[in-house]
Amino acid sequence: MPVLQNGAQIRWNDQYLQIKLFPLDSYEPDKAHLIVMTDVTAAVKNIHDSIWKIALIGLLGLICAEILLFLIFTRLLAKLKDVVFVLPLLANGQFERFRLSVASTDRAQRFRDEVDTLSEAAVSLSLQLEKLEQEVSTRTRMLIEQKNELGRERDFVENLLDTAQAIVLTQNAEGLVMSLNAYGEMLMRYTESELQGKSFLNILIPEYESQDLLTRFKEIHSGKRMQLRHEAITHCKDGTTRHVAWLHSHLGRQSENDPSILSVGLDVTEYKRVEGHLAWLADHDPLTNLFNRRRFSEELEQVLSRAERYRHPGALLFFDLDRFKYINDTSGHQAGDTLLKMVASMLAQTIRADDITGRLGGDEFAIILPEINANGAIEVAKKVLDQLGHAQLTINNRTHKISASIGIALFPEHGANIHDLLAAADLAMYQAKAMGRNAWYLFSDKDRSRERIHTLVYWKEKIEYSHLHDNFMLYLQPIMQVKTKEISHYEVLLRMQDKDGSVLSPGEFIPAAEHTGLIHAIDHMVLRKAIAQVAKIYQAGFKVSFSINLSAHAFNDPELLPILKEELTSQDMDPACVMFEITETAALEDLPGARGLMIEIKELGCGFVLDDFGVGFSSFYYLRELPVDVVKIDGSFIRNLSESSDDLILVNALCSVARGFGKKITAEFVESAEILSLIEKMDIDYAQGYYIGKPAPATEFFTDHESDSF
């Protein structure tokens, strides 16, 4: 009943009927119903026909869709196959061919799809791969070049280590030698294999301070200390020793087999020898091996101090050799040098062990006699004269006797300081000469004022007379350029003509001029006279330069600079052709004043020469402090250059220092072709001496129609 109420469809005799039950409540509730039957056959058939049509259409659509998809995927797969087939070209590095293949495939298609996008991505990939390959190739080539360069550098370093003039060795963490370069093998006579595995300290430096140096080496190995410098006597295999300056450096290690320390050793044996020799020369006269003036003065000061403290008397003997200048002039400087050596040797055999001997310059000697009285000093003087009297010198068939005049001064009686004592002994020596030479004289206070006044008055009169009568003369001595052998420079030398016509050298009258205050007048005269003469030589057409000597007092003379400016202007002189020579002693008088005046003179355009370079070895200081252009190596180092290897070493050292400061170098006392040849090999710039030319008036060097006015 509920089904009929909702409606039901039945098939009957190929017809489709729809039955629906309606209740008749008005007649009898729930008992009477109305049945309605409707024929729906046509509608049902229409529905069935529609279903079959839809199914057929769907099937046909599905078949068409599958065909279309097949066609689409076939095209895509074909394009994808083309791309896949050319992909191996990328693996082979044929990037250009790959891009051409992909491009030809793309040109055949009219529409873009995902495969086209894939192709573009593949092309971009090929470009990137090509770029990467190029970069890899470039980097590979660079790595190969770097490897080759490293190989060359390694070979260079190995070569350098073998040829470097230094010991180069490595040590492991236990201080055992691992490697040694060729120079180290040559110097220490050990082969690398002989030292490998041996203790560096025990084998090469057995005298090392065990705790101190060993501790510092441990700090180097551990890295607490990065470097260690020290000098040590290093033992060679053949039993010899070398003085070596070592520099040990810590090395970072990658493994236990790597070296821990790099040790570089510089052989300073020769340097130490020269340094010791230079230190010795700073205190000694190189010709006689006696103390020089500086060291002798220091020793005298110490003896005077002890004598004052302990109230011990003593004596000073001061003497020079009689007629020494005559021996030099007649037989040459070599004869004079031989004579000085003989005197030094005889003094060493004559005096007591505690006595002190020195050569103060030229032929002047002095002896300090500690703890002795007047009679004892006189006996020593007599013994010295007796020893000298038994000696003689024979050169070139000419025999020279040796004699001396000795002055004796006692301390503290005749002087409690160096200056007074030397002055007293000097005056006593002149008294001995006045007695007829080859004699001694004991100074007395009565002699002090009388002799000094007599001497100063005598020379003052001579100097004033020469000023008044124009008896001062200027000599020139040529200075040669060593390389070209040309005479390009002359030194202006002062001479004084005595009343008897003899020519006196400055050493005879300059000390008196300094004591009497006439030295400034002489400086002014020399300045005016020299510049005037140089100007005339220039006007005659001779283009050379000149050096003018300045005294030690020139640097505290306020009139010197104005006079120089006036003369240069009035004579219309080129300041560049004028140089001034100063000695270390002159600069020592007033170093700040000397430097200031020199700077002012150099601003005018003139130059400076430092004379007597190397004497006393304080010249190195003045070379740095003073604005000099040329240094003149003292003749005492040059005259025996061909015979003395020590002088060769010393002159080479002096030249190195001078060249290091950018100075030109002059060698004086060049008296033979052999010496000239030696200084030429040393690359010395200028040569001066009797072999080059003796001092003479300007007329002997410059001949011209105006030469009479020179």
Chain segment 155-186, per-residue pLDDT in tens: 555 566 666 678 888 888 888 898 888 888 88
Average pLDDT, integer, range 18-23: 76
pLDDT higher at 623 or 415: 415
The CATH number that domain 164-267 falls under is 3.30.450.20
Query: What residue segments make up the domains of the chain, in order of their start?
Result: 2-82, 164-267, 283-443, 471-506+528-709
* DSSP designation for 502: P
Least confident segment among 89-98, 360-369, 656-665:
89-98
Write out pLDDT tens, residues 21-33: 777 766 566 667 7
Q: Find the radius of gyration of the CA atoms of the chain.
A: 56
The CATH number that domain 471-506+528-709 falls under is 3.20.20.450
Percent of the chain with pLDDT over 70: 85
Average pLDDT, the chain: 82
Widest Cα–Cα separation across the chain: 201
Examine residue 412 and say whether the peptide bond preceding it is cis (omega within 30 degrees of 0): yes
Average pLDDT, integer, range 691-706: 80
Residue 231: which pLDDT band, with cuts at 50, 70 and 90? confident
User: Which two three-digit tokens encode residue 281?
Assistant: 């020369």
- Residue 585 is predicted with a pLDDT of 63
pLDDT higher at 555 or 56: 56
Reference 370, options 313, 285, 308, 434; nearest CA is 313
Non-local CB neighbours of 503 within 8 Å, separated by 6+ positions: 473, 495, 496, 497
Least confident segment among 144-148, 196-200, 549-553:
144-148
User: Which two three-digit tokens encode residue 66?
Assistant: 């599958």
Residue 590: which pLDDT band, with cuts at 50, 70 and 90? low
Examine residue 592 and say whether the peptide bond preceding it is cis (omega within 30 degrees of 0): no
What pTM, to 2 d.p., does this model score? Answer: 0.46
- Residue 30 is predicted with a pLDDT of 66
* DSSP designation for 667: E
Q: 283-443: which CATH topology?
A: Alpha-Beta Plaits (3.30.70)
C-alpha distances (whole Å) from 167 to each of 119, 171, 564 are: 68, 13, 57
pLDDT higher than 80, residue 87: no
What are the φ and ψ backbone dihedral angles of 202, each rounded to 5 degrees? -70, -35
Give the integer Cα–Cα distance in Å for 297 and 291. 9
- Residue 378 is predicted with a pLDDT of 94
User: Which two three-digit tokens encode residue 592?
Assistant: 């700040």
User: Which two three-digit tokens encode residue 179?
Assistant: 């490697």
- Residue 641 is predicted with a pLDDT of 85
Give the integer Cα–Cα distance in Å for 89 and 130. 12
- Residue 472 is predicted with a pLDDT of 92
Give the integer Cα–Cα distance in Å for 82 and 88. 11
Burial of 584 (0-12, 13-18, 19+ CB in 10 A): buried
First-to-last C-alpha distance (Å) of the chain: 172
Average pLDDT, integer, range 211-229: 80
Reference 269, options 292, 249, 240, 237; nearest CA is 240
pLDDT higher than 70, residue 1: no
Give the integer Cα–Cα distance in Å for 101 and 86. 7
User: Which two three-digit tokens encode residue 348?
Assistant: 């060493």
Write out pLDDT tens, residues 522-543: 999 999 999 999 888 888 888 8
Residue 474: which pLDDT band, with cuts at 50, 70 and 90? very high
User: Which two three-digit tokens encode residue 287?
Assistant: 């010709």
Give the integer Cα–Cα distance in Å for 616 and 623. 13
Write out pLDDT tens, residues 300-319: 999 999 998 888 899 999 99
- Residue 586 is predicted with a pLDDT of 65
Average pLDDT, integer, range 48-75: 82
- Residue 25 is predicted with a pLDDT of 66
